[in-house]
């Protein structure tokens, strides 16, 4: 009991109870004004994206650099999200990445869905170790927000509630929907990243941690549902790397970059991503060989290793040639073009061999492989 953080517990349980009573009473009497509902939805998105693009990708992972004006806007909406100061949030999040799925992970899913989703918040957390967030302590805006977080939260929440109450001349609807239902929806969507995005989905990039990719989760978490990719390449400013992946945080950062309000966007190159995909797939295939084709285990494993080494080596070779091409003077580039072409050709044939091996193995046609 002495480890319970009563302020957080009473706040969260309190507003859930309040909504449980206030919402039915509200709907028995009338419907909320449409303007209030649309404003609430817009604010849920604004605050969610501020957490994603601000607290998460900008501050926790330094995936890009933002203009101070952008920082102020992101911090305003992230404060409104009621998830603690940026320093506290980033400290917990960096521990989550560094010690994922262990006791040192503040919201480890190994302790169950409810712990990762909500109950970890009810317990006192360690004091912030300044070494972990030393870079953030150099940012005066963040230090100010951390020091006066309570006051910032009250000012932001009451002013937004009052603004929309005045705008639609309905302070009660604004109080229930703009303040508390918005907080409820936002909290549960962010918390889903710690719970659902570590339980329900696929693990294409790595099986060394519990994080999963799930398109449906990305829809309710402002693009944070590609969590397996994120835990594997956490400094990438994107979570969904394909153009069609729903990732408003990525789109916002990209747009800010185009208008000069964000720079130094960090992006993992495709060859490194492909190397990771192939290496992780190899682990799966080794397991499959052990389980399904034990009598051919040695020969299949050695062929698999041979193909994997060749493919990974060629991916690295093409990447280093491209890096060299970018680094040298223009007149020296012509010589490298031929080398890059032949390295890509050789990579293509290794890729074909790899795919063929995987296809035959997955269809159980091992007689063609041994
Ligand atoms: Zn995670
Ligand atoms: Zn992260």
Q: Are 205 and 268 in contact (CB under 8 A)?
A: no
**Nearest ligand, CA 96:** 1
225 Cα: distance to centroid of ligand 1 (angstroms): 10
> What is the C-alpha separation between 238 and 235, in angstroms, rounded?
9
**Nearest ligand, CA 212:** 1
Q: Are 239 and 247 in contact (CB under 8 A)?
A: yes
Stretch (H or E) spanning 263: strand 262-263
Cα→Cα distances 182→34, 174, 211, Å: 15, 10, 27
Query: pLDDT per residue over 301-352, tens digit each?
Result: 888 898 899 888 988 898 888 888 888 888 788 888 888 888 999 999 898 9
User: Rg (Cα) of the chain, in Å, rounded?
Assistant: 25
206 Cα: distance to centroid of ligand 1 (angstroms): 13
Same domain, 142 and 288: no
Q: Phi/psi at 66 (nearest 5 deg)? A: -115, 150
171 Cα: distance to centroid of ligand 2 (angstroms): 37
106 Cα: distance to centroid of ligand 2 (angstroms): 13
Question: Is residue 183 in a domain?
Answer: yes
65 Cα: distance to centroid of ligand 1 (angstroms): 22
**Nearest ligand, CA 239:** 2
Dig out the tokens for 85 from the structure. Answer: 């100061």
Q: Sign of the C-alpha dihedral, residues 126, 130, 131, 132?
A: positive
> What is the C-alpha separation between 231 and 252, in angstroms, rounded?
21
Domain enclosing residue 284, as ranges: 270-368
**Nearest ligand, CA 56:** 2
53 Cα: distance to centroid of ligand 2 (angstroms): 11
**Nearest ligand, CA 235:** 2
Same domain, 83 and 157: yes
In the prediction, which pLDDT does 332 show? 80
348 Cα: distance to centroid of ligand 1 (angstroms): 34
Same domain, 228 and 306: no
Q: Is 122 exposed, middle or buried (0-12, 13-18, 19+ CB in 10 A)?
A: middle
Question: Is residue 1 in a domain?
Answer: no
Same domain, 88 and 203: yes
Dig out the tokens for 223 from the structure. Answer: 């693009």
In the prediction, which pLDDT does 181 show? 98
> What is the C-alpha separation between 179 and 160, in angstroms, rounded?
8
Give the HSE-up count for residue 320: Cα atoms under 13 Å, Cβ half-sphere. 6
96 Cα: distance to centroid of ligand 1 (angstroms): 7
Q: Sign of the C-alpha dihedral, residues 67, 153, 251, 178?
A: negative
Q: Are 209 and 100 in contact (CB under 8 A)?
A: yes
54 Cα: distance to centroid of ligand 1 (angstroms): 16
346 Cα: distance to centroid of ligand 1 (angstroms): 37
End residue of a domain, out of 263, 280, 314: 263
In the prediction, which pLDDT does 367 show? 72
Q: Are 47 and 182 in contact (CB under 8 A)?
A: yes
Query: pLDDT per residue over 3-14, tens digit each?
Result: 899 999 999 999
Query: pLDDT per residue over 157-175, tens digit each?
Result: 999 999 999 999 999 999 9
234 Cα: distance to centroid of ligand 2 (angstroms): 6
**Nearest ligand, CA 192:** 1
Same domain, 107 and 240: yes
**Nearest ligand, CA 194:** 1
Same domain, 222 and 274: no
Same domain, 278 and 203: no
Cα→Cα distances 10→4, 5, 6, 58, 147, Å: 10, 9, 6, 31, 22
Number of domains within the chain = 2
Same domain, 156 and 275: no
155 Cα: distance to centroid of ligand 1 (angstroms): 31
223 Cα: distance to centroid of ligand 1 (angstroms): 13
Q: What is the pTM of this model?
A: 0.87
Give rounded-to-5 percent helix, strand, coil for the chain: 70, 0, 25
Q: Is residue 259 very low, low, confident or very high in pLDDT (cuts 50, 70, 90)?
A: very high
């Amino acid at each position: 009991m002495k480890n319970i953080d009563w302020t957080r517990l009473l706040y969260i349980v309190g507003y859930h109870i309040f909504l449980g009573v206030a919402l039915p009473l509200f709907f028995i009497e009338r419907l909320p004004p449409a303007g209030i509902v649309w404003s609430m939805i817009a604010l849920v998105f604004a605050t969610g994206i501020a957490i994603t693009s601000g607290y998460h990708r900008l501050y926790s992972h330094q995936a890009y650099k933002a203009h101070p004006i952008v920082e102020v806007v992101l911090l305003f909406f992230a404060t409104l999200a009621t998830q603690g100061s940026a320093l506290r949030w980033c400290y917990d999040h960096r521990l989550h990445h560094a010690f994922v799925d262990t006791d040192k992970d503040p919201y480890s899913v190994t302790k169950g869905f409810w712990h990762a989703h909500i109950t970890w918040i009810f317990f006192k957390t360690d004091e912030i170790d300044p070494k972990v967030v030393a870079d953030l302590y150099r940012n005066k805006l963040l230090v100010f927000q951390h020091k006066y977080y309570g006051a910032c939260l009250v000012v932001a929440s009451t002013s937004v509630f009052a603004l929309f109450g005045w705008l639609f001349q309905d302070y009660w609807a604004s109080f229930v929907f703009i303040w508390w239902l918005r907080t409820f929806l936002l909290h549960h969507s962010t918390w889903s990243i710690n719970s659902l995005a570590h339980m329900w989905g696929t693990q294409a990039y790595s099986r060394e941690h519990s994080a999963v990719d799930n398109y449906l989760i990305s829809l309710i978490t402002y693009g944070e549902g590609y969590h397996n990719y994120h835990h594997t390449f956490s400094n990438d400013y994107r979570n969904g790397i394909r153009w069609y992946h729903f990732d408003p945080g990525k789109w916002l950062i990209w747009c800010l970059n185009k208008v000069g309000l964000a720079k130094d966007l960090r992006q993992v190159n495709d060859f490194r991503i492909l190397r990771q995909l192939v290496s992780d797939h190899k682990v799966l295939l080794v397991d499959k060989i052990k389980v399904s084709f034990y009598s051919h285990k040695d020969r299949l494993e050695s062929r698999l290793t041979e193909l994997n080494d060749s493919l990974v080596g060629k991916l690295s070779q093409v990447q280093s040639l491209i890096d060299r091409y970018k680094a040298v003077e223009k007149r020296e580039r012509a010589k490298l073009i031929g080398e890059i072409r032949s390295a890509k050709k050789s990579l293509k044939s290794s890729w074909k061999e790899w795919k063929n091996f995987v296809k035959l193995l997955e269809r159980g046609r091992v007689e063609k492989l041994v």
